[in-house]
Structure 1
């Protein structure tokens, strides 16, 4: 049985993976910290802050998830030795 050095190592923490984790964790932290947005003012187009803040995070979360996915793909290609696009 062939043994490749380094194949038994657990997950490797790289700066890219840390950024991926932060991109995925930020929306959860922002939404779970209700005290930061539980207010009426400032209003945006007559909509209380409480509501438009949450709707803004829908868009931000989508962008952060897309960034995390692209970074993860690039990291996986680099680990396999593939050429980055």
Structure 2
């Protein structure tokens, strides 16, 4: 019979912060894959059809959501490691 690796075997646990981080990463994909929600020309914004400015709006939104997910995961890892050291 094989022995578990040194330090014991750890099971991956999905906690609320990790679920929120996953949602932050999945939201832009869902928004861009749902093409029928933005496949139209109106309303225009400074002469740019809705189809284009909606997609460009998601660039900074995706950036902010990715940063939020990164911060959440890093904070979660820091808390988890601090709990293991005790």
Instruction: Decide: shared fold, TM above 0.5.
Output: yes
Instruction: Tell me the secondary structure at the aligned position of residue 81 of structure 1.
Output: helix
Structure 2 counterpart of 1:53: 54
Structure 2 unaligned regions, length at least 5: none
CA distance in 2 between counterparts of 1:49 and 1:66 reads: 26
Structure 1 counterpart of 2:81: 80
After TM superposition, the score normalised by the length of structure 2 is 0.85
Structure 1 unaligned regions, length at least 5: none
Is 1:10 the counterpart of 2:6? The answer is no
- Measured on the aligned residues, the alpha-carbon RMSD in Å equals 1.9
CA distance in 1 between counterparts of 2:28 and 2:82 reads: 32
C-alpha displacement of 1:57 = 0.2
After TM superposition, the score normalised by the length of structure 1 is 0.86
CA distance in 2 between counterparts of 1:15 and 1:53 reads: 30
C-alpha displacement of 1:10 = 1.8
- Count residues with an aligned counterpart: 80
